[in-house]
A and B are shown apart, each in its own frame.
Chain A
């Protein structure tokens, strides 16, 4: 794990940038925190008939410039904080390129290689 949290580390870039702009304090207050992070357990039927559940998160970091765009990771070491950090990056990446989007990101805590193709499809649709 990081000595400094991943999101705090990413936020140092925001603080640094803010020093070069005359910004309203409201703007930083809005961008310092993710707007919304949903946490769910996705439950699927495995090929052997058993049920299994997986942690999943979706973070909508900021939607001021448009719908919150961002991909979905399937990774066994995913955490909520990682999702929020990646959503922060997406917010800035979309703004850098002037795309009409805010920033978001999702993750399912799973090693996709341990699932069969049918199980992966069920999890993707869950």
Chain B
């Protein structure tokens, strides 16, 4: 809605339709198919790609912190592959079911209020929201706010893998604690980059005036997540560093290449 208004405002200022000026637009104004679940889907493709190295497989247990857009979609995508979503939290609290929560019921409960409304049904128990990070599981997915895994609770994490769908959910201090426990963190700037990547696809489609079917959006996103995921995995292994450091090294080497290639034109014109 907001992005549509902004695109429309810009169009009236310049006097012509210019959809590529802004992304995240409604489909009717030139938005891309597949933008709605792009953040979760990017993380999902990354998990799929690295599953063998991470010793994850259908049946592995997943805890999801935060049940907004990214949390709901990752539950749906991993659930469809046979992963067991054993705990989910939202702003009201958390629910836990060691044999796996019913995704359809979770989504319905959230639509009508909160996932906590499921507590007390079919072996589902309530859990303090703060305890979600220490639930027994293989994969922990922070999909809420910044700094949720910190110095004070990182040592209680039982998962072997953390998929950062939120921005900055693990503090630098917690990073060190997790690394010392051999917990693998799939870092935000890679793990949740599906959103910005499909925004980029929207811009490309707007500039081409050629709109892709959703299957094409998914296939291209998958290719890019796998390509960058593989590169960062290899970099981390070769240098013996965490995936987060490797992701920053990967990005920084691209930025450095561009900065050096640009030169310092302003020195010669002023």
A interface residues, Cβ below 8 angstroms from B: 2, 9-10, 12-14, 16-18, 20-21, 23-24, 26-27, 30-31, 62, 64-65, 69, 71-72, 74, 86, 89-101, 120-121, 124-125
Which residue in A24, A74, A96 is a CB contact (below 8 Å) of B189? A96
Chain B residues within 8 Å of chain A by Cβ, number: 41
Which residue in A12, A69, A98 is a CB contact (below 8 Å) of B228? A98
The distance in angstroms between the C-alpha atoms of A13 and B185, with both chains bound, is: 14
Question: Shortest beta-carbon distance, A80 to chain B, in Å?
Answer: 16
Residue of A nearest to B255 (CB): A95
Taking a contact as CB atoms under 8 Å apart, the answer to whether B197 and A89 are in contact is no
Taking a contact as CB atoms under 8 Å apart, the answer to whether B245 and A17 are in contact is yes
Which B residues touch A95, using CB under 8 A? Answer: 250-252, 254-255
Taking a contact as CB atoms under 8 Å apart, the answer to whether A31 and B255 are in contact is yes
Most chain B CB within 10 A, of A13, A24, A69, is at A13
Instruction: List 3 A-B pairs, minimum CB-CB distance, nearest first.
Output: A17-B248, A95-B251, A125-B9
Taking a contact as CB atoms under 8 Å apart, the answer to whether B259 and A64 are in contact is yes
Mask: chain B, 17-42; 1 = CB below 8 Å from A; 0 = not? 00000001000000000000000000
Interface hits, B182-232 → A, CB 8 Å = 188-190, 192-193, 196-197, 199-200, 224, 228, 232
Binds A, one of B114-122, B134-142, B167-175: B167-175
Taking a contact as CB atoms under 8 Å apart, the answer to whether A97 and B255 are in contact is no
Which A residues touch B180, using CB under 8 A? Answer: none
Main secondary structure of the interface of A (DSSP, over half): helix
Question: Shortest beta-carbon distance, B204 to chain A, in Å?
Answer: 10
The distance in angstroms between the C-alpha atoms of A89 and B187, with both chains bound, is: 12
Would A16 and B248 be within 8 Å (CB), given that A93-B196, A96-B190 are in contact? yes
Residue of B nearest to A94 (CB): B196
B55 within 8 A of A: no
Would A99 and B248 be within 8 Å (CB), given that A64-B262, A89-B188 are in contact? no
Taking a contact as CB atoms under 8 Å apart, the answer to whether A62 and B255 are in contact is yes
The distance in angstroms between the C-alpha atoms of A113 and B82, with both chains bound, is: 38
Question: Shortest beta-carbon distance, A126 to chain B, in Å?
Answer: 9
Which A residues touch B192, using CB under 8 A? Answer: 93
B80 within 8 A of A: no
Which A residues touch B199, using CB under 8 A? Answer: 69
B74 within 8 A of A: no
- Contacts beyond the supplied A27-B252, A92-B252, A125-B9: 5 A-B pairs with Cβ under 8 Å: A16-B248, A21-B253, A92-B255, A93-B251, A99-B196
The distance in angstroms between the C-alpha atoms of A90 and B6, with both chains bound, is: 20
Would A27 and B259 be within 8 Å (CB), given that A17-B249, A86-B167, A89-B167 are in contact? yes
Would A20 and B167 be within 8 Å (CB), given that A65-B258, A97-B193, A125-B9 are in contact? no
